[in-house]
Amino acid sequence: MLQQLIPNVIEYSPELLKALKETLIMVSISGLFAALIGIPVGVILLVTSEGHILKNRMIYSIISKIVNSLRSIPFVILIAAIPGITRMLAGTTIGIKGAIVPLVIASFPFVARQIEVALLKVDMGVIEAYQAMGFSPFGIIFKVILVEGLKNIVLALTISLISLIGFSAITGTVGGGGLGDFAIRYGYQYFKTDIMVVTIIIILLIVYVIQGVGDFIYKKLSH
């Protein structure tokens, strides 16, 4: 396999670079939208939970059930279940555009839960102190909870982004493009194990880079 590895990589390098670019685009765009949706949802889950500043059992229960329901659906099944929504929002169900919609729908509930857990680490004593000083709930959210919990938000988003990479690879099985599609098309279907290995190595490198950047930012914020 080692003797064939370099020739095969060179032969398929244009397709590999294209697949890498597609994966980076999918992960970046869907990650951005998942964060834009998931962070507010996570904050709402936190502040409406039992004993928090905007405690509301009904709102918490409804949002929590929606988030849990979406998280419980396997991603492959989710892709197959929402072609109408995907086509309505993206205009297609294949390629990068067709992959972004299900990626966002699958990722934002995960982001929301990660954000909720991350912000639970903010000391309630600090929050209560600001309440005593007359800060409004929204003032506490933006000036205390999000600021104090920023480093934990970074870790939550790092974990979510790594999970999103796994989802993006799965889209390759349904024509979503990216490294998953490249591995299936040129590695699995043509029985080229070396191509599969190279694809896995590239995905692992992307994960290591994201984790490294996230850890670096976390340490900077901690100091």
> Domain spans of the chain?
2-222
From CA 180, how far away is CA 170, in angstroms rounded? 6
Q: What count of other Cβ atoms lies within 10 Å of the Cβ of residue 103?
A: 27
Q: 2-222 architecture in CATH?
A: Orthogonal Bundle (1.10)
At a CB cut-off of 8 Å and minimum separation 6, what does 84 contact? none
Degrees (nearest 5) of the Cα angle 159, 163, 164?
115
pLDDT of residue 2: 47
From CA 35, how far away is CA 222, in angstroms rounded? 21
Please say whether the beta carbons of 186 and 192 come within 8 A. Answer: yes
pLDDT of residue 8: 60
Please say whether the beta carbons of 222 and 29 come within 8 A. Answer: no
From CA 32, how far away is CA 11, in angstroms rounded? 34
User: DSSP of 146-160, one letter per residue?
Assistant: HHHTHHHHHHHHHHH
List of the chain residues with pLDDT < 70: 1-9, 190, 223
What's the pTM?
A: 0.89
At a CB cut-off of 8 Å and minimum separation 6, what does 32 contact? none
Total length of the chain = 223
pLDDT for 82-103, tens place per residue? 888 888 888 887 888 888 999 9
Encoding tokens for residue 167?
């989802």
Please name which of 220, 186, 2, 52 lies closest in space to residue 42, comparing C-alpha atoms: 52
pLDDT of residue 6: 59
Count of alpha carbons within 13 Å of 186, Cβ hemisphere only? Answer: 22
